[in-house]
Structure 1
Amino acid sequence: MIQVQNLSKSFQNIQAVNDISFTINKGEIFGFLGPNGAGKSTTLHMMSTIIKSDEGSIYIDGIATNDHPSACKQLIGVVPQEISLYEELSAYQNLMFWGNLYGIQKDVLKERIHTTLELIGLLDRKKDLIKTYSGGMKRRINIAAALLHQPKVLFMDEPTVGIDPQSRNHIFEVIETLNEQGMTIVYTTHYMEEVERLCDRIAIIDSGKIIAQGTQTELKELVPTKESIQLEYSLLSENNLQELQKLLPYSINADKNKICIEGSVQELSNVITVSNELQLSIKDIQLNKVNLEAIFLHLTGKQLRD
């Protein structure tokens, strides 16, 4: 659906995007994960024809963005970081305005506004002025405006910044519904939990370069440490340890009353069952996961939100 090859962009002496390449398949959610200033928004701006690249090429559904920007704009919807709405107009009036800019026939537009407001859960508030909306509601209307012309691809640039958890979850549900309907979605964020929930594949970007990309499973393989389970017992004798080693099909590292087992959270129920059978009193359980934060730290040597 989207092919990006050797893309670069500089602003004066700042290299915002540095020779990146990737492919996005039709019908997938592709995430860009990185800290503020990593190059996520600049990449999205080039893909959505807002700015031109210095070098490289972008093809959307076989169409080159630099050569045919108008044709590409018909294929894409853009949800910017900034709220692009008129505060003194109602939600319905805002959507009528943006729909008219797309050149959608009036009767068709009215039906699409109704359907889109229903999708984002704000049909009952369509006559209310935008200035009366919460931050999360404004962001949902922002999404609605990008959907009116029924794009094949939706670009979403940090769409949950500054909103409450309930609104964030509602936006997630809208994204998942759109994706189930076949829409290709490109999503940028610096919140790892968002891409972990939403994205089929992820590109980790830092200082303008893609330092890793793939599925979550593929990215986890880049980290030398593995997921593990640590249990602390009230008392763990040498005999107890030997029994655990007999009954559990894992390699166990022990230290005083603690054991550490290499494995994922799926193994935990088995460990607890065996511990109960041996009448061992569990004092504490810790799950050490390999998540995107750990991957980013391993690849860059810094925390994701630095």
Structure 2
Amino acid sequence: MIHAEAPALEIVNLRKNYRRLEALRGVDFVLQRGERLAFLGPNGAGKTTLIRALAGRTRPTAGTIKVLGHPIHSIGARQALGLVPQDLALYGDLTTRENLFAFGKFHGVPRRELKKRVAWALDWTGLKDRAGDLVAGFSGGMKRRVNLACGVLHRPKIILLDEPTVGVDPQSRQRIFTMLDQLNEEGASILLTTHHLDEAEQRSDRIVILDQGRVIADGTIDELVLSTVGHSRLVKVRIDRPLVAPVTVPGGGSVRSYQVGIAGREMIETRIDDVAVDLAPFLQAVRKDGYMVSDMEVHAPSLHHVFLHLTGNELRD
């Protein structure tokens, strides 16, 4: 029986030790029903360990995991979860259709439903015309689509995705997320780990950042920006010669500046709160000091800036 008010996932004080290594150090978060949650973190942050614990592939050292209000190892909870692993879990010497039938049986899809579910998966992935081809000969993007279909044939209410777009081209990434959007629209809750910040920013309702086995941030992109780097814009102007002294802006302010040797040109960088009000006086001050502006960039705060602010790391594969 599903608890009517229970969230899709509820994780409390989750810990996992591998001898002396603490991979998870008291992780707490909730995935609401129908929510799309992106999990980010530098390499070694504990993301894959977390996914393995949620999928029942590794037993936590401490803490609790509830699925739709039930303990993680209960029968109903296990059936409600669908895992799409980072490493492709496919049989290369089987066809697309044969892989789907094999994973459908593995997930316990009733025989009377299996044929119908496989037909749905072939249509959903756009691979109906490749149903009889061996998976070994597929491109990386096609394999990822089959991998995703194999993980959701049993219609899980919660889908765990560990780097589902690793090594695929932009067109295949778009196709995969279109497929996931369809599942989400049908009510599935999605937990996604990714190294693509644009995926997290555009394809999630909420973002959790994990670092060194701990949750260090949890919120919408707007909430994370406001609580870290703020909503000011970063302005960069390229000038015609090296800056010899800080540019003085009317009102007594001073532009924070530094010199960067890029092809013999120099750069001034500052932050402004209101582009409409502050940008013109700043550019006038640069010109008044005798510099010519050859180029300008205005950057809105993004998840990239938030991530760097919180972890000090770039997010890389």
Deviation at 1:122, TM superposition (A): 1.3
Corresponding residue for residue 106 of structure 1: 111
Report if aligned partners of 2:233, 2:299 keep a CA contact under 8 Å in 1: yes
Corresponding residue for residue 51 of structure 1: 58
**2:130 counterpart of 1:125:** yes
Corresponding residue for residue 232 of structure 2: 227
Corresponding residue for residue 164 of structure 1: 169
Corresponding residue for residue 141 of structure 1: 146
Q: 25, 30, 48: which one pairs with 1:41?
A: 48
Cα distance 1:51–1:218, how it changes in 2: closer, same or farther (>3 A)? Answer: same
**2:32 counterpart of 1:32:** no
Corresponding residue for residue 72 of structure 2: 65
Report if aligned partners of 1:296, 1:303 keep a CA contact under 8 Å in 2: yes
Deviation at 1:259, TM superposition (A): 9.4
Q: 71, 86, 107: which one pairs with 1:81?
A: 86
Q: 268, 293, 297: which one pairs with 2:308?
A: 297
| CA distance in 2 between partners of 1:159 and 1:152 (Å) | 18
**2:100 counterpart of 1:95:** yes
Report if aligned partners of 1:229, 1:263 keep a CA contact under 8 Å in 2: no
| CA distance in 2 between partners of 1:62 and 1:233 (Å) | 56
Report if aligned partners of 2:17, 2:23 keep a CA contact under 8 Å in 1: yes
Deviation at 1:284, TM superposition (A): 3.5
AA aligned to 2:17 is: S
Report if aligned partners of 2:229, 2:306 keep a CA contact under 8 Å in 1: no
Count of paired positions:
279
| CA distance in 1 between partners of 2:44 and 2:312 (Å) | 17
What RMSD over aligned residues (CA atoms) do the two structures have, in Å?
3.0
Corresponding residue for residue 11 of structure 2: 4
Deviation at 1:153, TM superposition (A): 0.5
The percent of aligned pairs where both chains have the same amino acid is: 37
Cα distance 1:222–1:18, how it changes in 2: closer, same or farther (>3 A)? Answer: same
Q: Secondary structure at the match of 1:221?
A: helix
Cα distance 1:55–1:284, how it changes in 2: closer, same or farther (>3 A)? Answer: same
Structure 2, unaligned runs of 5 or more: 1-7, 240-249, 258-267, 284-292
| CA distance in 1 between partners of 2:120 and 2:34 (Å) | 21
Report if aligned partners of 1:229, 1:285 keep a CA contact under 8 Å in 2: no
Q: 176, 183, 204: which one pairs with 2:181?
A: 176
Corresponding residue for residue 214 of structure 1: 219
**2:167 counterpart of 1:187:** no
Q: Deviations over 1:179-224 (max 9, x none)?
A: 1121100101122111011111111011111111111011001224
Structure 1, unaligned runs of 5 or more: 235-244, 246-250, 276-281
| CA distance in 2 between partners of 1:303 and 1:145 (Å) | 32
Deviation at 1:263, TM superposition (A): 4.3
TM-score, length-scaled by structure 1: 0.82
| CA distance in 2 between partners of 1:168 and 1:263 (Å) | 35
AA aligned to 2:313 is: K
